[in-house]
Structure 1
């Protein structure tokens, strides 16, 4: 009997775990609300420091969990060499829901600084902008080693500063942070190549791919982003929800992407209803597209990128400098929660059209191992995240079936050894928990 009760407790714990997996602090979704952001479950939790002298160390190739309050200014520390480019990204995850108000200028900023407080340049902020509704947004900072560089060119410790701007009339909840640090080796001596970004490139979008769409199910973050190939993909999206996708782009290749929102019954007008944000493999935002919604079919597309090339990093334009490396490029698609007010709280048809032009070429002559960025570069971590999200996505009905199966097994154990099913015979149905419970 003790064994049965113990097994029962374990079974109930397992069912409870299935129900709770994927709900992070402050990010549990209520029924009818979008799901939480899929944080990297391998991430190390680290607290940001108010003073630089207390900053905790971050390491290249690692992901971290943190959080930030309204108006917060948090310091972290990284160790950089004198030859590698460095990238620090921070994904800010506000609470989701119709009551969580954000302002146009609300957002975060990421900076890399030397020990004297000099900025390494290429600091970046991310704000909600005209699409003023809560969703995950990512900002980044970059240290680029240049022959004529002035600041941040030497080896040693550097500070990462993450700042949050929140208007007094906006929701004052704490935001989750996912911080990622990446490093890119320099080039071999004598093989630097062009040191200026291209002034022009083929920017005319190709004819959008057509034909039968394949089924896709977007993720809820960078870590479980759905892997797509060039072609047409269909998904569903709810108001307030952000769907993440990724597509590999090689050296010399050019990505074109768009998102189509299907028609719906109802009437109304929602400005910036669909936001389409394109990120490069180190989570730097490179281009954005928006569209209004009035119930008719609409399409949004980020500005086209140049072919991926090492020299792009020397440009001051985000859509050029962002296409500086091969790897997974991410598309974050968000549907405004205001769409529900005029057209209903339901799933809307979403069609992704992906085109990758050009033949993949060789990588530049790196002085070290050729880096691989993005989810596909570390599929072990990516698959783990997908498994986690898969479990978290199990429906209540599935959990109920699982629970009934456990009860049935326990009932049989209580009656004796579980019988082996014989072909052509069916065991009598048993429902509900064992009577000993």
Structure 2
């Protein structure tokens, strides 16, 4: 979906005491390596092919791990003609410091066996100043796109673009296939009349410590409020926010003063923020220079989450067409290390506004939660408690066991409940931080 500059993927992984991050690098002369992107749990190995003739099968509801060099890779999909939509996202992960240009990036396109591209199916993203994880998503509309509505075989064509003097080595690639169920009769098909543009009303309350993750799979859940973290040069931190139908998100990010080693210097793209939707397509993004003293980025408030947004021609409205987890990537440019102490993390403040009352969504034929869409009670609880997806899954499992024990009777289950409660308490200690 056009150019997306995501400049930095790193954040100091400190501990949190009384809700405030504490640097884990104090007194160290050399910085620790930045944490690597965490792949999805249970990701299936796959090997895309340069020709559709040998393309491996990928299925909805699964995440895959591959590698990709410059050029195209093909994957095969078997889609039903039931009006459902299909989304294939690709996250490419270059090594830290890899040479990239502004024309390098990733593209995902869904095509028929006749080689026709599905309407408005292609998603694109290109690098900014740094080699950081980059995501793009391709779409198949199962109702509105007549050429791609029929059941049968389709191909996801994932292309890595690379200039001749850029890094040519194979990079890790994460593919995720998601299915959004078809809608019942009377579902809207017309684009919204206009895009509401509005600056967010960002909160100014005291910040609470929440350490971000390394990517989509361990992004830290946030809600409305002010949140504190840390970043180092070349690092990106990831967060996720549940947005229900009818809700809007406004956000701002600030870098405070660093430990400067060279005055009167600055880095273009020193602070970058990118917002992604539930199927990992970029919604909006912005980057500014950073001089080691102060920098801030504010993104315009999103339009309300609405099914009809997917029919809009506006690049920042079209992706806000489904409810679910929206992801925030905050990057501090690698060039900041040229004039600051790389080992000393820089305070990062996030200010989030979630506006609007949750509204009733479209009448799906099936539950969209199976595809990773919608907002439920567990999602709201995860945002309130600041859980990553793995932590939320663990908490849900613990609750399930405790319910079973409770149903067995108070007398026999009291001791086990006390033990399980202790596990939960221990697991939540230091939740605000992600270990390096």
TM-score by length of 1: 0.77
Find out whether 1:192 has 2:187 as its counterpart.
yes
Change (3 A) 1:316 1:201: closer
The secondary structure found in structure 1 opposite 2:283 is: strand
Unaligned segments of structure 2, at least 5 residues = 1-29, 395-426
Deviations 1:368-403 (A, max 9, x none): 22336269769996338999xx9x9656xxxxxxxx
Find out whether 1:281 has 2:289 as its counterpart.
no
Which residue of structure 1 aligns with residue 66 of structure 2?
66
- Between the two proteins, the alignment pairs up a number of residues equal to 355
Which residue of structure 2 aligns with residue 422 of structure 1?
none
Residue 51 (structure 1) shift: 1.4
- Equivalent in 239, 248, 253 of residue 245 of structure 1: 239
Which residue of structure 2 aligns with residue 33 of structure 1?
33
Distance in 1 (alpha carbons) for counterparts of 2:435 and 2:274: 28
Which residue of structure 2 aligns with residue 161 of structure 1?
157
Instruction: Point out which structure has higher relative CO (alpha carbons under 8 A, 6+ apart).
Output: 2
> Which deviates further from its counterpart, 166-175 or 133-142?
166-175
The secondary structure found in structure 1 opposite 2:338 is: helix
Residue 186 (structure 1) shift: 1.4
Distance in 1 (alpha carbons) for counterparts of 2:208 and 2:173: 33
- Equivalent in 383, 387, 390 of residue 382 of structure 1: 390
Which residue of structure 2 aligns with residue 361 of structure 1?
359
**Retained in 2: the 8 A contact 1:42–1:381?**
no
Which residue of structure 2 aligns with residue 231 of structure 1?
225
Which residue of structure 1 aligns with residue 216 of structure 2?
222
Deviations 1:92-145 (A, max 9, x none): 000013xx21111111111100001100133011110xx321100001100113
Which residue of structure 2 aligns with residue 135 of structure 1?
132
Which residue of structure 2 aligns with residue 271 of structure 1?
268
Residue 146 (structure 1) shift: 3.9
The secondary structure found in structure 2 opposite 1:53 is: helix
**Retained in 1: the 8 A contact 2:178–2:279?**
yes
Distance in 2 (alpha carbons) for counterparts of 1:258 and 1:107: 26
Distance in 1 (alpha carbons) for counterparts of 2:207 and 2:315: 31
Distance in 2 (alpha carbons) for counterparts of 1:261 and 1:35: 20
Which residue of structure 1 aligns with residue 147 of structure 2?
151
Residue 291 (structure 1) shift: 1.1
Which residue of structure 2 aligns with residue 109 of structure 1?
107
Distance in 1 (alpha carbons) for counterparts of 2:341 and 2:168: 28
**Retained in 2: the 8 A contact 1:218–1:225?**
yes
Which residue of structure 2 aligns with residue 255 of structure 1?
249
Change (3 A) 1:393 1:245: closer
The secondary structure found in structure 2 opposite 1:199 is: coil
Deviations 1:56-92 (A, max 9, x none): 11111110001101x2311101111221011110000
Asked which structure has the greater CA Rg, the reply is: 1
**Retained in 1: the 8 A contact 2:64–2:175?**
yes
- Equivalent in 165, 168, 172 of residue 168 of structure 2: 172
- Equivalent in 303, 325, 329 of residue 326 of structure 2: 329
Unaligned segments of structure 1, at least 5 residues = 1-29, 396-437
Distance in 2 (alpha carbons) for counterparts of 1:186 and 1:333: 34
TM-score by length of 2: 0.77
Once superposed, what is the RMSD of the aligned Cα atoms?
2.4
Which residue of structure 2 aligns with residue 77 of structure 1?
76
Residue 165 (structure 1) shift: 1.1
